[in-house]
Chain A
Amino acid sequence: MESSITMDILDKIFTLLIFPGGLFLLILGLAYEWVDRKLLAQLQNRIGPRWFQPLADVIKLLAKEEVIPEGVNPWLFIGLPIIALAGSLTAALYTPLVGLPPSHSFPGDLIVTVYLLSLLTLCMGLAGSNTLDRFSLMGATRTLTQLFSYEAPFMLSLLGPAIVVGSWRIADITSYTENHWLLLSQPIGFLVALIGLIGKLEMPPLDAPEAETEIVAGAMTEYSGRGYALFRLAKGAELVVGLTLVASFYMGGMANPLLFLLKTLLLLLVMVGLQTLITRLRIDQTVGLWWRYGTLLVLVQWLGMIIWKGVAS
């Protein structure tokens, strides 16, 4: 009996740290970041970075000196990137990463996953307000504003499939969507989820919190070295987890690794296309646009679903 408990614990540690969480997820995050940058370059008719560029960036950053500015709380300064990385790595445990069924699942883990993802954004907002630097403070304000306005529609659009399935468990939802393409039956929900994902990840055109030409680097201006590397790894992991969630809910589930790769890369291509076509919006325009229309669209979608469900039964 003891050996099976030990095997169980070892298995859990392996899942948590190596595969499919932990190290594997970090590497997958770097790979997806590379695909994003390379696709962006190809669409702009130029050569992008070589395959090892994000890895080289992380190694370089880890080797650099970490400068702790005056006037910050050093515990928060050092601890927030670690918490952010932990949040996005933990969120991956409940999603069908790489096409395998989620390693852990319990009823209600959909809400937990989404909130673990927003833990990352919250940490960035706190990191920005922690310093005395004007650029970071403005970046933090914008990050938190965008968090408030994008959280609601994104969450609601992910709840659409949950309503159809009648469960709050990601494992149940993905096994349902493997047979049904919700993209076709809930197109508005898919649109809201896609744009909500872009806003959540702070990718252009909704990257006002990180606008390079206005506020240098937003909330992460003061970070360098190890803290910055951890934030970037966390964002890479968030990219993978977000893509997995939206693709598995709306684009027909993930039965095996090959389908995972194809579907998430297809979704990434669509997102990169949107990235190239639209100018960066100002923060008041992003909030004003999406807080109203996004929520309205999702509610319209829900209404449609409820009516249809009522009529069908």
Chain B
Amino acid sequence: MKIGLMFRDISTSLFQRPVTERYPYERKGTPNRLRGKLKWNLESCTGCGLCGLDCPANAIQVHVLDRKEKRFILEYHADRCTFCAQCVHSCRQGCIDLSNTDWELAALDGDVFRFIFGVQANVDEFLVGESSADTESPTSE
């Protein structure tokens, strides 16, 4: 019958540095496959909308401004996203990728989580259309 079988562990730990990572003063590098914030490569997008359809959290909405001219807007809600990467695989053209360095997404305000991706002219047109829709029906919920 023995007792104190973890003696070796504690006696080596007494003289070692603790194994805790002192975040945020020390940061370990992230692995390549880390699933962080979404990035969209808009050249190959065909506007099929499968990414939005398959997203389990309704975090992606694809807005079609003009299908023939290929003018699309991707609206991404980072606060709803679960970083599952289903959109990456649903897209048949490989337009979507999840960053592996941009993962510290906490914020104090809820508004910063809505990202609108697209060519600048298209984004402006979209936002103008949105705000005019808001002013037309101010009491909508």
Contacts and interface: CB of A to CB of B under 8 A. Distances in A.
Q: Which 5 A-B pairs have the closest CB atoms?
A: A277-B4, A45-B13, A43-B10, A47-B18, A47-B20
B14 interface: yes
A277 B7 contact: yes
Interface residues on B, range: 10 to 19
Interface in A12-47: 41-47
18 contacts: A42-B18, A43-B10, A43-B13, A43-B14, A44-B10, A44-B13, A45-B16, A45-B18, A46-B18, A46-B19, A46-B20, A47-B18, A276-B10, A277-B3, A277-B4, A277-B10, A278-B3, A278-B4
B106 interface: no
Contacts of A47: 18, 20, 22
A187 interface: no
Most B Cβ at <10 Å: residue of A45, A276, A277: A45
Contacts, number: 30
Contacts of B13: 42-45
Given A42-B13, A46-B20, A277-B10, 17 more contacts: A41-B18, A43-B10, A43-B13, A44-B10, A44-B13, A45-B9, A45-B18, A45-B19, A46-B19, A47-B18, A47-B20, A47-B22, A273-B10, A276-B6, A277-B3, A277-B7, A278-B4
Contacts of B6: 276-277
Interface of B: 3-4, 6-7, 9-10, 13-14, 16, 18-20, 22
A277 B10 CA distance: 8
Interface residues of A, number: 11
Nearest to A41: B18
Interface of A: 41-47, 273, 276-278
A42 to B, nearest CB: 6
Nearest to B19: A45
A128 B100 CA distance: 54
A43 B22 CA distance: 18
B88 to A, nearest CB: 37
A277 B9 CA distance: 10
A43 B14 CA distance: 5
A117 B25 CA distance: 44
A159 to B, nearest CB: 28
A280 B24 CA distance: 35
A281 to B, nearest CB: 12
A233 to B, nearest CB: 28
Contacts of A41: 18
A276 to B, nearest CB: 5
A42 B7 contact: no
Contacts of A45: 9, 13, 16, 18-19
A46 B19 CA distance: 6
A290 to B, nearest CB: 15
A250 B120 CA distance: 81
Contacts of A43: 10, 13-14
Nearest to B13: A45
Contacts of B4: 277-278
A194 to B, nearest CB: 15
Contacts of A276: 6, 10
A47 B16 CA distance: 11
A47 B17 CA distance: 9
Nearest to B20: A47
Contacts of B3: 277-278
